[in-house]
Amino acid sequence: MRLSRYFMPILKENPKEAEIVSHRLMLRAGMIRQQSQGIYSWLPLGKRVLDKVNAIIRDEQNRAGAIELSMPTLQSAELWQESGRYDAYGKEMLRIKDRQDRPMLYGPTNEEMVTDIFRSSVKSYKDLPLNLYHIQLKFRDEIRPRFGTMRSREFMMKDAYSFDLTREAAEHSYNKMFAAYLRTFDRLGLRAIPMRADTGPIGGKLSHEFIILADTGESEVFCHKDFVDFDIPGAHTDFDSVEGLQAIFDKWTSLYAATSEMHDQAAFNAVPEGDRLSARGIEVGHIFYFGTKYSEPMGAKVQGPDGKEHFVHMGSYGIGPTRLVPAIIEASHDDNGIIWPASVAPFDIVVINMKAGDQACDDTCELIYAALSKAGKDVLYDDTDDRAGTKFATADLIGVPVQIIAGPRAVANGEVEVKDRKTGARETMTIEAAINRFVA
């Protein structure tokens, strides 16, 4: 991508409305724009990061056996009347009437709709287990939308829904998502700790929130500090192994970890004082097992091996991609801007032409840009005629992991500088060496 032809509206000044660093940096880097309270456009740079986050989420959902579909944002109120949640949900639900005066709503979650899809076609235990997910916009008319896309009214959610014949089978489905979440957050460069959680309006029996420790987090959390160094399940984890996944779940729930709603001070006091971590955290994921809470009122049942009909046991599993992007920034930035983990960076490499219009600089940059793009790298080429200082500041602000800098003096020697955004380390090398480093 040539910056001269891209759309990346950088802000020079710190936006006054932004209270936390991630919101400030997302606005300054031109990643998002507020359209009305708690409702955002994702501008091209932000969209790239969001897409990469979603690709990792999708990859791990698929690995764990979940199947992607797409459900609409607008739902009929009837489904929610069946489950009894239409009245219970309150003012957070955006209620709409269509031209025939039929009550509709902008979905805050999809338990009812997915249960309806399930009951319309699954009739036998032989079709279980089943886990269906989508990555879709949600709307919740939050009392206090704030911190940009961290807590917005319209936001994106990956929501998965599992269906099983028995409680035991449903617990295995729960453990699959539990392990998938550990892997997902790890690949996003985050350490998320599963904490016992309240089941809230979704209702249910077993529930964990995945929390990232951050001073700007809205939740108060208490946990054993060893969680910070626990091993993440590997890529070859067997998601069909009941014992294997149970062992992962048991390990990751063996020590104290709870949010303030579920906090038990006496149990926490039993943790040796030096091992206690009481901190603030950001909830990035939440999983529930809720048994037959929706299948019973909505009549979602299958025939079991005994020939009788059974209400299915369900769970639901949410991750917030539009909250994850700022959460990653909260965890990874410095005074100059964002520092993206390579897995979600909007571009892999930025090529900075320090003197656009200078034939040698232009030729060198074009050569590098073409070679790296051909090798499948996402390259941003700063070919604008801004001052070098402005270009450096922009590159640092947008947090691309690697900068390749071509200035007249180095280029005259057939060299460029390669800078690591995270460490700030700079290395001078030949043009060929710079290309080979990232093509190899």
Interface positions with ligand ATP (CB under 6 A): 140, 142, 151-152, 155, 157, 283-286, 318-320, 322-323
Of Mg ion, ligand ATP, none, which one does residue 184 interact with (CB within 5 to 8 Å by kind)? none
Counting Cα atoms < 13 Å in the Cβ hemisphere of 302 gives 22
357 CB neighbour count, 10 Å cutoff: 9
Prior bond of 321 cis (ω within 30°): no
Kindly state the smallest distance separating residue 402's Cβ from Mg ion, in Å.
Answer: 36
Q: How far is Cα 67 from Cα 110, in angstroms, rounded to an integer?
A: 15
- Sheet with 94-97, edge to edge strand ranges: 74-76, 103-106, 94-97
Q: Considering CB distances under 5 to 8 angstroms, the limit depending on partner class, which of ligand ATP, Mg ion, none binds residue 155?
A: ligand ATP
Q: How many residues does the chain have?
A: 440
Phi and psi based region of residue 33 (left: phi greater than 0; alpha: psi -120 to 50; beta: remaining): beta
* Site for Mg ion, rule CB under 5 A: 286
What is the Cα–Cα distance from 285 to 4, expressed in whole angstroms?
A: 38
d(CA 268, CA 387): 55
Closest CB to Mg ion among residues 320, 346:
320
Q: How far is the CB of 182 from ligand ATP (least distance, A)?
A: 15
3-state SS assignment for residue 265: helix
Which of the choices ligand ATP, Mg ion, none does residue 323 contact, using the CB cut-off of 5 to 8 A by kind?
ligand ATP
Considering CB distances under 5 to 8 angstroms, the limit depending on partner class, which of ligand ATP, Mg ion, none binds residue 285?
ligand ATP
Phi, psi of 163 (to 5 degrees): -130, 125
Query: In whole angstroms, what is the distance from residue 381 CA to residue 365 CA?
Result: 8
- Cβ of residue 424: shortest distance to Mg ion, in angstroms? 38
> Between residues 110 and 353, which has the closer beta carbon with respect to ligand ATP?
110
Burial class (CB in 10 A: 0-12, 13-18, 19+), 426: exposed
Q: Least distance from C-beta 288 to Mg ion, angstroms?
A: 9
From ligand ATP, Mg ion, none, which one binds at residue 402 (CB under 5 to 8 Å depending on kind)?
A: none
Nearer to ligand ATP, 82 or 142 (CB): 142
Cβ partners under 8 Å of residue 431, min gap 6: 364, 367, 368, 414, 415, 416
Nearer to ligand ATP, 190 or 354 (CB): 190
How far, in Å, CA of 71 to CA of 111, rounded? 11
By beta-carbon distance, which residue lies closest to Mg ion?
A: 286
> Please, which residues bridge with residue 163 across strands?
130, 314
Smallest distance, ligand ATP to C-beta of residue 299, A: 24
Cβ-proximal residue to ligand ATP, closest one: 320
Partner interacting with residue 106 (select from Mg ion, ligand ATP, none; CB below 5-8 Å by kind): none
Per the CB < 8 A criterion, the answer to whether 78 and 195 are in contact is: no
Cβ atoms within 10 A of the Cβ of 243, count? 8
Q: How far is the CB of 197 from Mg ion (least distance, A)?
A: 7
Sorted by sequence, the CB contacts under 8 Å of residue 76 that are 6+ apart come out as 102, 103, 104
Q: Which is nearer to Mg ion, 48 or 286 (CB)?
A: 286
In the complex, what is the shortest distance from the CB of residue 155 to Mg ion, in angstroms, rounded to a whole number? 12
Choose between 209 and 382: whose C-beta lies nearer to Mg ion. 209
Instruction: Tell me how far, at minimum, the Cβ of 322 lies from ligand ATP, in Å.
Output: 5
Whose Cβ is closer to ligand ATP: residue 92's or residue 427's? 92
Q: Which residue has the tokens 């020697």?
A: 413
**Among Mg ion, ligand ATP, none, residue 326 binds (CB under 5-8 Å by kind):** none
What is the distance between the alpha carbons of residues 264 and 270, in angstroms, rounded to a whole number? Answer: 10
- Shortest Å, Cβ 371 to ligand ATP: 39
Contact call for residues 393 and 375 (beta carbons, < 8 A): no
| Choice between 115 and 322, CB closer to ligand ATP | 322
Q: Which is nearer to ligand ATP, 107 or 318 (CB)?
A: 318
Nearer Cβ to ligand ATP (202/398)? 202
Residue 294, binding choice from ligand ATP, Mg ion, none, Cβ under 5 to 8 Å by partner class? none
Question: CB of residue 283 vs Mg ion: minimum separation in angstroms?
Answer: 6
The token pair that represents 82 in the structure block? 């069946």
